Chains A and B, each alone.
Chain A
């Protein structure tokens, strides 16, 4: 699983950080999403899917 983020779309809501804190963080200065782990372990899949679904800016996607 590879996680892709589109920082131009990100609105800084932080929903992804709440959903999958081992995979996502926010930049200090503007709250834009930062990827902690671009290729998370399969055990993170449910959390990452949740983050994708919760993101209000559709800024996260997953490719296999």
Chain B
């Protein structure tokens, strides 16, 4: 009998789970536990509107306070979960309190990776939380020389925003092109051009050897090829690790890929995971998958809530169509599916030169993904092709 649901992680996945539980008719108790003191806020604006100062931090909130009140959820903020005992069905919190549950949803997200040589150096930033964004913004306003390490989504967006704020920006990426993992080298290479057009050089194919500092503050980024890039501010956009430290010793199957779940997002009976932290079996792809996409946080939260309410015997496999977007300067990129760097690429709408196009990705004849540049609406017809490519034959 489901009377008390505890959701650990008060960001998009956790909050959406709570909303979907209520929408699904759940009338029991719901507790939403967050490590940060802030009301649930959204992360995509952090590298854009919040970092740029276009939005006050409050505007990044996911829901208005009266909406949260309407959910009848016990919000426990600024109090991280510290351990889990799934046998006793109990979560311990940082303030020493504990809470029992009938069902638990793990939605603790990820933590930004850093570099050993960044230890103790002022001026080195990651961007994961609202506080990270505000701290970085304060430094960007001084017009510094900025080196962004990593040309993934976060790195590219931060570089664009920092440039807009007047900083002198360089991007360093060890792989052959920006965002190569989500769109391949050919299309990813265009991102380098976009940044170069805005006066932001992108150095690809070279890794970072270490960070240099003086008097406790970063002064330069040393590259593997011996180059020294002077820097007042360094932003590390080098990926993130699932926030599973509190689950050590819980007996859950935890890997470097996150909380390992079955196709219904269940880790062990009564315990589910959603969002960036969850690794689950995507039956369409026949693979274990973990997505850090914003839309996945929402869709997986909804799926987990439905499965909790349906019960384990009626739980449905979670089969999302992965979707990401990024805004850099005036460029809007959107992508469906999971194309790999080596997939065949075909431009099916527009052309690369005009920087308005849709590209389809194929592997062994199956469509694996679609990426659109400044083509949000033109992307929509390709959605079904990508879904078909992700569906097992006969399903």
Task: Give chain A's interface residues, CB within 8 Å of chain B.
Answer: 9, 11-15, 17, 26-32, 49-50, 53-58, 61
With beta carbons under 8 angstroms apart, the residue of A13, A17, A55 that contacts B325 is A13
**In the complex, what's the smallest C-beta–C-beta distance from A44 to chain B, in angstroms?**
14
| Inter-subunit contact B376/A58 (CB<8 Å) | no
Please name the residue on chain B nearest to A32 by beta carbon. B376
With beta carbons under 8 angstroms apart, the residue of B16, B20, B377 that contacts A28 is B377
In the assembled complex, the Cα of A18 lies from the Cα of B379 at a distance in Å of 13
| Inter-subunit contact B377/A11 (CB<8 Å) | no
| Inter-subunit contact B299/A11 (CB<8 Å) | no
Interface string of B110-122 (1 = CB under 8 A from A): 0000000000000
In the assembled complex, the Cα of A47 lies from the Cα of B379 at a distance in Å of 22
| Inter-subunit contact A15/B295 (CB<8 Å) | yes
**In the complex, what's the smallest C-beta–C-beta distance from A55 to chain B, in angstroms?**
8
A56-B334 in contact given A11-B327, A13-B325 (Cβ < 8 Å): no
B62 cross-chain contacts in A, Cβ below 8 A: 58
In the assembled complex, the Cα of A31 lies from the Cα of B327 at a distance in Å of 13
Task: Give chain B's interface residues, CB within 8 Å of chain A.
Answer: 12, 16, 19-20, 23, 42, 44-45, 61-64, 67, 294-295, 297-299, 302, 323, 325, 327, 332, 334, 374-377, 379-380
A26 cross-chain contacts in B, Cβ below 8 A: 376-377, 380
**In the complex, what's the smallest C-beta–C-beta distance from A19 to chain B, in angstroms?**
11
Main secondary structure of the interface of B (DSSP, over half): helix
| Inter-subunit contact B334/A31 (CB<8 Å) | yes
A54-B302 in contact given A13-B295, A13-B334, A30-B332 (Cβ < 8 Å): yes
| Inter-subunit contact A53/B325 (CB<8 Å) | no
B332 cross-chain contacts in A, Cβ below 8 A: 12, 30-31
A14 cross-chain contacts in B, Cβ below 8 A: 376-377, 379-380
In the assembled complex, the Cα of A15 lies from the Cα of B295 at a distance in Å of 9
| Inter-subunit contact A61/B325 (CB<8 Å) | no
A12-B334 in contact given A58-B42, A58-B62, A58-B63 (Cβ < 8 Å): yes
Please name the residue on chain A nearest to B295 by beta carbon. A56
A-B pairs, 5 with minimum CB distance? A31-B376, A12-B376, A56-B295, A56-B294, A26-B377
Given A11-B325, A13-B334, A26-B380, output 11 extra A-B contacts at Cβ < 8 Å. Answer: A12-B325, A30-B332, A31-B377, A50-B23, A53-B16, A53-B20, A54-B299, A55-B298, A56-B294, A58-B62, A61-B64
With beta carbons under 8 angstroms apart, the residue of A27, A30, A49 that contacts B374 is A30
B16 cross-chain contacts in A, Cβ below 8 A: 53
In the assembled complex, the Cα of A61 lies from the Cα of B294 at a distance in Å of 19
**In the complex, what's the smallest C-beta–C-beta distance from A56 to chain B, in angstroms?**
5
In the assembled complex, the Cα of A17 lies from the Cα of B379 at a distance in Å of 13
In the assembled complex, the Cα of A29 lies from the Cα of B376 at a distance in Å of 8
In the assembled complex, the Cα of A57 lies from the Cα of B327 at a distance in Å of 13
With beta carbons under 8 angstroms apart, the residue of B45, B64, B323 that contacts A13 is B323
| Inter-subunit contact A53/B298 (CB<8 Å) | yes
B374 cross-chain contacts in A, Cβ below 8 A: 30
**In the complex, what's the smallest C-beta–C-beta distance from A4 to chain B, in angstroms?**
11
**In the complex, what's the smallest C-beta–C-beta distance from B354 to chain A, in angstroms?**
14
| Inter-subunit contact B376/A30 (CB<8 Å) | yes
A28 cross-chain contacts in B, Cβ below 8 A: 377
With beta carbons under 8 angstroms apart, the residue of B23, B45, B294, B377 that contacts A53 is B23
B295 cross-chain contacts in A, Cβ below 8 A: 13, 15, 54, 56
Please, could you name 23 A-B residue pairs with CB atoms under 8 Å apart, sorted by A? A9-B45, A11-B325, A13-B334, A14-B377, A15-B295, A26-B377, A28-B377, A30-B374, A30-B376, A31-B376, A31-B377, A50-B23, A53-B16, A53-B19, A53-B23, A54-B298, A56-B12, A56-B294, A56-B298, A57-B44, A58-B42, A58-B62, A61-B67
